[in-house]
Every structure is written in C-alpha cells, then in structure tokens.
Structure 1
C-alpha cells in the first residue's frame, strides 16, 4: 500500500499542485498573498492584452480552416482513390508531423522574409519589381506556417475514419446517377464529419498554445498572441500572478474544446451502418488523379520541401543570402556547434539527457499507474488514470507557469534547474506514456500474474519477471514517443530554463533573435537528424506512422 500512496503523491506533485497553484496565484496579491481580483483586472483591463487574445482566436480559426483544406483532400485521395505516389505522400505527411513548428517558421522566414527571402528574390529577378510580394511577418504568414505543420492531425483523424467506411453507400449513389465529386461531398465526407471536426479542434488548440512560431513571426510583425503576451509577463519584473490570471481563459478554452472534441468523436458518425463491414474500393479518378497528385505535392512543398531545402542551404552556407554556390559551401557551422562552442555542446547534451530522463520517468510512472488502474488495486483508481491524462488538456505554456508558481520560490527554489525542466517535461508528456502503457496492459491476461502469485511469488516479482518482458516492445515505443517531443519542446522550456540548463529549442529561439541563421539552421538539422533516426527506430519496433497513430 505504501508504494501506491507514493504514486498518488507523485501525481499530486506533478499534476494537481501546479494547476491548483496557478489558480491560487491568479487570485492572490503579489506582496501580501491576500485574495484579490486585481490580477484579472490588470490582465484583461489592458486593450493590448485583449487584442492578443483576439489575435490568438483569429490564428486558431485560420489555422484550423487552412489545415483542413490541406488535410481533408489528401486524406480522401490516399484512402479512397487511385492517386499515384500514395506511400511517398504519407511519408511527407509524417515528415511534416515530426518537424518542430518553430523550425518550419525559420525555414519560411528564409523563404518569405520581406525582400531578402528566396521567394521574394526570385520574384524580383523575374519581374524587375522594386519590392517582393511575400511577407511572412503577418497574421496570414503566421497562419500558413502553423497550418503546414499542424494539418497532419486532421489528416490522421480523417484518413482513419475513411478507412472504416465501406463503399456500399457510394456505390448506391453512383447507381442513382451521382458523379464522383457529388458523391464525395454528399455521401463520403458527411459520414466522416465527426472525425474532420475532431481534427479541426486539435489544430485549433495546437495553434493557440504554440509559442515558438508566433514569437518568431508575430513579434517582428508587431502584434501579440496569448503565448507571446504570457512570455512578456516574465520580463523583469516578473508578474507571475498577472500571468496566471491571463492564462486561465486559455486553459478554460482548451478544456472546453477537448470536451467538445470528445463529444463529437463519441458519436462515431463514420461507423458502418450496414451491420457488417463492406468492401472499400478505390475510386478511379482518370486524368484527375494527376491533378490530385499535383495538389498533394503542393502541400508537401509548403510543409516540407521548401522550408527544408532553405534550412539545409543555410546550414551548409558561409552566408545564406549568397545562395547556392560551391565557394559558399562550408561545414564550419556544424564544426562550431559540435567542437568549438562549449555552450552549444552543453546545450545539445542537455537536450538529449533531459529528454532521456524524462522518457524513463514518464514511462516508469505511467506503467505503475496503469497497473494500479487496470488491476483496481486501490479504491477510486480511475482518478489516478484521470490525473495521468489531465496534462493532455493543459497547454504547455500554462503548465510551465503553474510549475513556476509552485516550485520556483523557496523552499524548493527549483527555477532554472534541470530538475524543474525534467519534472515539467515529464508532466507534459505523461499522457502519451500512460496511453501506451495502459494499451499494453489491456493486451495481457491477468491470469499470468496470478499464476506467479499462486506459486508463491510476490506481485512485484510478477511485474518484473512476467509483465515487463511481455511489454518490452510497447514500453520501448512509449519511451520513443516521449523522447522525441521532449527534445523539441519549447513552450514550457522557455519559462523554466536557466543559464546552465538551456536546451536546443531555446537556443534556436535565441539564435533567431540574434539573426545567426547559418548556425541556427545547422542546429536545426542536428535536431531533425536525431528525430528522424529515433522515428526510424520506432517504425521498426511498432510499425509505420507510429507517432501519428499513437497521438490520435
């Protein structure tokens, strides 16, 4: 029983206390600690703060709509038609998913920065105009950048639903004279509308909670969103109570939208209504299949090809603005990061050490909690499962403010330490580890453990000698699923990092403020290579698209 009490205490420490402390701080005076609503008046009595909230809502709606325009046609073409190149397009969607949004934003700054971006340079060369036509430093530019990295969410929801829909109703519509486009719009897509809306909601929440891409694009464009406004509350003097008050509506919006998404998906409007699974036949598009393939390549170009090409060019360039030429090629940017710059080496080491420790901690804790819940070892065990899942509906930036409020000041005084970063990351990605652990445990019959107990073995012996060997593959997959996002996490790291605990995501942000795009691109390439290697290992262990499938 002592072990289970310790687990409950850990969950309270990691999940419940920071959120409660966030709420309490929003209602406290900074100096006296007395109850007040002044923090809310200060947070929302300023027109600039209100405008930042409206900007976030505009960003979220714009990203959700644009991402659905990218994702739904792709999902339909891959799941239901004979469009060529489907494995390649799936691979590119996966590549868009694993690309950190702030790295994609940097690529688009190099592409569409006013006058200096490559697209604007090409326009000037072709037309002889006085100025370029693209300006990434705008709300439209920010919406595009976030949408091309978040559309995989809607894609996976939609394609998974389409894979469950038989062709029977489409065949009936065709027999009655309906053409392919009309059948798709009037029959197929309405069947998967709950899944599409679920993906749209996830894209909306992803957009309003992001920090990196808005900080790189919105701040130079002289407008704020909620995440960048929260960051400004941490400029000297730190206004933690005001930041807590300002973050509460973001938390409320996130919880409400997740509840709505669960309600919509719970209807399962895409389920078969015929009583048995029917055959799913591919629709022959004829010449239009090449048009569809061209659209798919356009989406892939916007999300992967173009930003990655300019990032690679900058990473291997002496000066990225000089373009592609042999005399501009160099490996010095990588040599500088890996050999010369001690701080950069420490930052890279910090990133992978913290991510590794986070993955071990999250998987270990989630496995223990999932075991307690699945075997019902304590009363109200489902509450423990709820606490493990709860961080999923808490934006990383809000969670970081909660950790700052709870553990930055004495007696723990953890601010700027590796401990608070690891604890914050563990809490942030605990739902991923718990979902994988719980799924693995459900596949194992408890009778195997009971056999060990009957033969005189303890429960812990049964866990160590029976459960863990059977769950090795599942636990390895869970470790990878936590490790990869932990290496690129920025929204929570930017609030908790200290001078000696910088990680790659924070260093990339700092380099972008300095305008050192060559070194920045090289560091981004290092992060991407590590992500791709780990993702490849995961695909071998679990299967293709394992990250996309496990996060839905």
Structure 2
C-alpha cells in the first residue's frame, strides 16, 4: 500500500492582522498633519498654563523653587480684599443678570408678549457692545457730578446732591450685568425652546395657575442651563478687566484683574502675578465641580420618546408688563449708553449737552487723519482679529475632523484641549503666554505674533464648537467616495468637508473676529509699542479723561462691527452670533 505525501507549499506573505491594519493607517501622509495639530495645541494651551504654574513657584533671579511668590501675592490684606471683592462682584453681577435675563427669555419663548423680536434684537445689541464702551457710556450718564442723569436731576430739583453714582460697588456690578445678561438669556431661552407644554398642562389641570406653574415646573426644568449661564457670567466677571479698571479704580474698588495689572507695572513682577492668578483657575474648577454636583442629585428630563407640543401662554394684560420690563432692560443696556456715547463723539465738550455750537466732526477727523496711534490701532485690531479667526477656524476644523473620524487614539484629549481655554480666564491665559513666550528663546513679547496666538487660543473653544457641530452632520461616506477615487484625506477635507461646512465656518469666523476686535483682558498684558489695539487705546484715552475722542473711536469700532454683523445676518441668518455662542 502506497502512501501519498502532499507536497509542501512555500509559505507566502501572511495577511496583516486587523490590529496591524489599524496601525498602518496612521502611516498616511496626513498623519504628519495630525501630529502637527497635537504640537500646536501643546504650544497654544498646555505650555502657557504649565509655564504659569512653574513661574509661580520660581524665584525671580535664581529660578529656584520657592513659596515666596505666594507669600508676596497674598501677604497683604489689600491683595486678599481684591480677591474677595472679585468674588462678591461676580456673585452680584450674576444675580442681577439673572433677574434681567430670565423673565425676558421666558417671555420670548413661552408667552404671547408683543415685541419678542425687539427683545431678541436688544440681546443681540447688548452682546455686540464691548463692555468697556458700555462702562464709558454709564460714566457719561451717571457720573456723580457731571453725568446727564445728575445734571437733569439738579436742574429739576435745584439740589446739588447726586441722584445716582456709577462709582460704587453696586454701580459697577450693574454696569457689568447690563453687558453680561445675554449669556443667561441665550442659555435659558435655548432650553425653554426645547421643552413641550405637557407638564405645564398637567399642572394647570391640577389647579396651578400660570405663575405657579412657571416657578414650580417650567423654570426648574431649565435650571441646568440657567445655572450654566449664571456660572459663565460669574467667571466672566471675575476675569473682566476693562469695566473694573474704568469704574473700579477711580472708585477705589480693587479686584483681582486690576491688582494683576498693577503687578505688571514697573518693576514687572510676573512671578507674583502668576501666583496671584492661580486661585482664578481653582475657582473655575471648583465651580464646574459644584455645578456637576448640584445637577447630579436631581433629574431634569423634559423630553421623552413621545412627541410634544409647545403651547404659547396667554398672559392677558400681564404681557404688557413683561414688554415694559424688556423695554427697561433695552434702555439701560443699549439705548441710554449709546446715546451718551454718540453725543460725546460729536461734541466739542460732552458736558455741554446737545447744542448746535457744540457739534463737531473734529474728533473723528483727528482719529482718522491726525492721530498716528489711532490709525495704527485700527489696522492692528482688524489684522490681528482676521488672522486669529482664520487660524482658530483652520485649527478647529482639522481637530474636529480628527476627533469625529477617530483618526488618533487620543482624540478625546484633543477635544478637551480645544475647549480648555473656555474655562481659563483670559487674563490668566495672557499671563501664561507672557511667562512662556515673552523671554528667551522666542522673545515674542510685544510682537504681532504673540497677540495673534493669544487671541487664537482665547477663542479656540468657539471655533471648535462650530467645527465639531458641523462635522457631526457630515456622513463619512462622502469622504470615502473621494478616497475610493484616489484622493487622500486632505483632498476630502478640501473638496467635501470645507464646502459643506462653509456657512458654519463663516459663522464661527465672524464670531471669533468680532470678539477678538473687542478683546482687552489679554491684549492689555501683551501689547508692545507697535501692537496697540483699539481696546487698549480706548482704555488709555479713558485714563486721560478724553471722553470725546474715546467715544468717537468706540463709534468707529461699533460701525465696523455692525458691518460684519450685517454680513453674518445676510449670509447665515440674523441669530448666527447668539446661536453659535450658546453651543
């Protein structure tokens, strides 16, 4: 019996395993770009914050580890009082903002109040006006002696006593709230727009009236978003520089941001400023943790698998009361300060009021043709803002693409780094950039490069929110079709992703651009002799008391801003700023 032996077959190449295939995809040429993005985020976010922390523990001359910076930062009662003042100011401004915003949001979303479009435009206008311009407007209105309100009061009553005084703690908090309430309005209204009327109807059937239902059913359902808006206003307030400097310094109200500014006066004590800024980071982290703790104890589900209907509440005569409240908020936040600024910008002397012999165009002529610093500041502002917006949107789109398509194993970390500047106060980020890049080897202090990088980092979260939301709506199949036809990922981004996201990208670009044109907290710490911006020049003019030229410069900034807002409304929709900012 014969035995057949099967011939041996030479072993061919073994097919790569699935794990190996997954690893090989990282060797694509585009992977180099993804790694560069990681490096860019490290450069923009991680290193400045790390350098801020390191600097706070370093001796100025030797660089050795020390706690003396913290002792110097909090060794005087005045410095501690500034921190306590900031916390109290943030709480008061957030409370006033909530009182203004919540009734407006509820009326616009749930009721038959007339003029809901008017209320929406009021919020938009208050959002556009830079905080420091609103502060100047209220100085012109409520200065203790020369303000319009007090002059009118003296004329009517013959009394020399002031009726109102903006140079008080409550006055400062009110002025900040008049610019900050749009944040709470946006968050609250967006939540109210999503809930149906079923639970409200159930409460009404059980005998609850409109106001009881609103207080015990409707508002508790949107409490998470309300709380988010309140915390945002609080954090914005304690990190705000312009308004506390313009009103608080003359009123002898010292806060964290103005104290940090004093640390940067000659001789510069950057290491003490770094130590003094660290509690702002701790406060931010603590508030975010507190928010999660408060919301984790209750359920706030307002949507189920069943469809719901939103029913408009008929308020009867009360709708006019709410409309009146919206008018009051509009007058206080937009109309009154803007009238004061416009009058001052066309006046020889703003205190002389409205008269033909007081009208002049000399302030605008001086800024446009006779003030070298003003022309340079205008050019710098819009060049820096355009460059920052472009860089932020390009970086955000690329990172959103990496995260949504799972191209790197640590995509979640990249998303976190993109959003991290949102919870880092702008003034803290600016000091971090100063500590990281002002000295050798880069020596970027006072350069346009440092200003652009700082603005890019400051508003990167807004750009990323737009890019990530847009990427979520694009199915990968369209990109795969490009790759099947021989194109790479970069070709797919250029030919498919970017054209489909052009409206979202344009909206994000415009929003970053507008916010960068009014940025002061970061710019004031990083400017050089040739990189001054409009916001910094406005602050310098306020210190000189030149309110006529200051108002004219603010008018130029607002006109150009309104042009870009009009472009955004034309191309994307009238609510592009508010909708994007709430994401």
- Give the equivalent residue in structure 2 for 1:343: 373
1:18 is aligned to 48
Task: Classify 1:273/1:503 alpha carbon distance in 2 versus 1 (closer, same or farther; 3 Å).
Answer: closer
**1:546 equivalenced with 2:576 (yes/no):** yes
Q: Which residue of 1 aligns with 2:224?
A: 194
Q: 1:515 aligns with which of 541, 545, 548?
A: 545
Question: After the TM superposition, which residues 45-64 of structure 1 pair with which residues of structure 2 at under 5 Å, given as runs?
Answer: 45-64=75-94
1:165 pairs with one of 195, 219, 225: 195
Separation in structure 2 between the aligned mates of residue 173 and residue 448 of structure 1, nearest angstrom: 48
Q: 1:377 to 1:275 in 2, by over 3 A?
A: closer
Q: How does 1:295-310 map to 2 (within 5 A)?
A: 295-310=325-340
Can you give the 5+ residue segments of structure 2 that lack an aligned partner in the other structure? 1-30
1:102 aligned residue (117, 132, 140): 132
Shift of 1:541: 2.7
The DSSP-based 3-state class of the residue aligned with 2:459 is helix
* Corresponding position of 1:239: 269
Give the 3 Å change call, closer, same or farther, for CA 267–315 of structure 1 in structure 2: farther
Aligned to 2:323: 293
Of the candidates 425, 432, 457, which is equivalent to residue 462 of structure 2? 432
Partner of 2:441: 411
Cross-structure match for 1:469: 499
Q: Give CA deviations for 1:313-367 in whole Å, capped at 9, x if unaligned.
A: 1111111111011221111111111122122111101100010011111111111
CA distance in 2 between partners of 1:55 and 1:377 (Å): 47
Q: Deviations over 1:395-452 (max 9, x none)?
A: 1100000000001111111111111100100111111111111111111111111111
Choose 461-470 or 391-400, whichever is displaced more. 461-470
Give the equivalent residue in structure 2 for 1:276: 306
CA distance in 2, matches of 1:377, 1:489: 34
2:170 pairs with 1:140: yes
TM-score by length of 2: 0.92
Q: Deviations over 1:79-130 (max 9, x none)?
A: 1111111101110111111111111000000010111001111111111112
Shift of residue 376 of structure 1?
1.7
- Residue 186 of structure 2 is matched in structure 1 by 156
CA contact (8 A) 1:391 1:431 kept: yes
Cα distance between partner residues in 2 of 1:230 and 1:222: 15
- Contact 2:507-2:577 within 8 A present in 1 as well: no
1:77 partnered with 2:120: no
CA contact (8 A) 1:194 1:269 kept: no
Cα separation, 1, equivalents of 2:183 and 2:208: 31
Aligned with 1:129: secondary structure? coil
Task: Give the 3-state SS of the residue equivalent to 1:344 in structure 2.
Answer: helix
2:565 corresponds to: 535
Determine whether 1:421 maps to 2:455.
Answer: no
TM-score scaled by length of structure 1: 0.97
Tell me: CA distance 1:169–1:4, structure 2 relative to 1, closer, same or farther (3 Å).
closer
Give the alignment of 1:377-526 within 5 angstroms: 377-526=407-556
Q: How many angstroms does 1:269 deviate by?
A: 5.4
Gaps of at least 5 residues in structure 1 are none
Query: Do the aligned partners of residues 256 and 276 (structure 1) sit closer, same or farther apart at CA in structure 2, a change above 3 Å counting?
Result: same
Give 3-state SS (helix, strand or coil) of 1:343's partner: helix
Check conservation: 1:165, 1:270, Cα contact below 8 A. Answer: no
Residue in 2 that maps onto 1:207: 237
1:164, 1:382 → 2: CA distance?
A: 28
Match of 2:160 in 1: 130
1:225/1:202 CA distance change after superposition, 3 Å? same
Determine helix, strand or coil for the equivalent of 1:201: helix
CA distance in 2: counterparts of 1:353 and 1:268, whole angstroms: 48
Report deviation, 1:469. Answer: 1.7
Q: State which of 244, 251, 254 in structure 1 corresponds to 2:281.
A: 251
Report the structure number with the largest CA radius of gyration.
2
Q: Which residue of the partner structure matches residue 8 of structure 2?
A: none
Residues 452/265 of structure 1: CA separation in 2 closer, same or farther (3 Å cut): farther
Mapped contact 1:255–1:394 kept (Cα < 8 A)? no
User: Which of 44, 59, 64 in structure 2 is aligned with 1:34?
Assistant: 64
Contact 1:198 / 1:265 at 8 angstroms: preserved in 2?
no
Three-state SS of the structure 2 residue aligned to 1:362 is helix
Provide the C-alpha distance between the structure 2 equivalents of 1:251 and 1:84, rounded to a whole number of angstroms: 43
Measure the CA separation in 1 of the matches of 2:487 and 2:316: 65
Which runs of 4 or more aligned residues in structure 1 lie more than 6 Å from their structure 2 counterparts after TM superposition?
A: 265-268
The residue that corresponds to 2:13 in the other structure is: none
**Matches of 1:327 and 1:543, distance apart in 2:** 42
Quick one: distance in 2 between partners of 1:435 and 1:268? 27
Q: Which range moves more in the overlay, 190-199 or 313-322?
A: 190-199
Q: What is the match of residue 6 of structure 2?
A: none
Distance, in Å, in 2 between the alignment partners of 1:195 and 1:431 is 18
Q: Does 1:67 align with 2:97?
A: yes
Distance, in Å, in 1 between the alignment partners of 2:497 and 2:205 is 54
Name the CA distance, whole Å, in 1 between partners of 2:459 and 2:533.
17
Distance 1:274 1:414, change over 3 A: closer
Please say if residues 359 and 479 of structure 1, whose CA atoms lie closer than 8 Å, have aligned partners that are also in contact: yes
Corresponding residue SS for 1:534: helix
Instruction: Give yes or no for contact 1:162–1:270 (8 Å, CA) kept in 2.
Output: no
SS in 2 for 1:277: coil
1:168 is displaced (CA, Å) by: 2.1
User: What is the Cα deviation at residue 274 of structure 1?
Assistant: 5.5
- Contact kept, 8 Å, 1:104 with 1:149, in 2: the verdict is yes
